[in-house]
Chain A
Amino acid sequence: ETGVTQTPRHLVMGMTNKKSLKCEQHLGHNAMYWYKQSAKKPLELMFVYSLEERVENNSVPSRFSPECPNSSHLFLHLHTLQPEDSALYLCASSQTWGSEKLFFGSGTQLSVL
Chain B
Amino acid sequence: AQKVTQAQTEISVVEKEDVTLDCVYETRDTTYYLFWYKQPPSGELVFLIRRNSFDEQNEISGRYSWNFQKSTSSFNFTITASQVVDSAVYFCALSEAGNTDKLIFGTGTRLQVFP
Task: Please report A residues at the B interface, Cβ cutoff 8 Å.
Answer: 2, 4, 9, 33, 40-43, 45, 48, 55-56, 88, 90, 92, 94, 97-107, 109
- For residue B44, CB closer than 8 A to chain A, the reply is yes
**Bound Cα distance from A98 to B50, whole angstroms:** 14
**Bound Cα distance from A94 to B100, whole angstroms:** 9
Task: Please report B residues at the A interface, Cβ cutoff 8 Å.
Answer: 4, 9, 33, 35, 37, 42-47, 50, 91, 95, 98-101, 103-108
| Chain B interface, >50% SS class | mixed
Contact A98 B101 (CB under 8 A): yes
Contact B105 A42 (CB under 8 A): yes
Contact A106 B44 (CB under 8 A): yes
**Bound Cα distance from A86 to B107, whole angstroms:** 17
Contact of A106 among B42, B99, B101 (CB under 8 A): B42
Residues of the B chain whose Cβ atoms lie less than 8 Å from the Cβ of A97: 100-101
Contact A45 B44 (CB under 8 A): no
**Bound Cα distance from A88 to B43, whole angstroms:** 9
Q: Smallest CB–CB gap between B29 and chain A, Å?
A: 15
Given contact pairs A42-B107, A43-B91, A103-B47, enumerate 15 new A-B contacts (beta carbons under 8 Å).
Answer: A33-B100, A40-B9, A42-B104, A42-B105, A45-B101, A48-B101, A88-B43, A92-B45, A100-B50, A101-B47, A101-B100, A102-B47, A102-B100, A104-B44, A104-B46
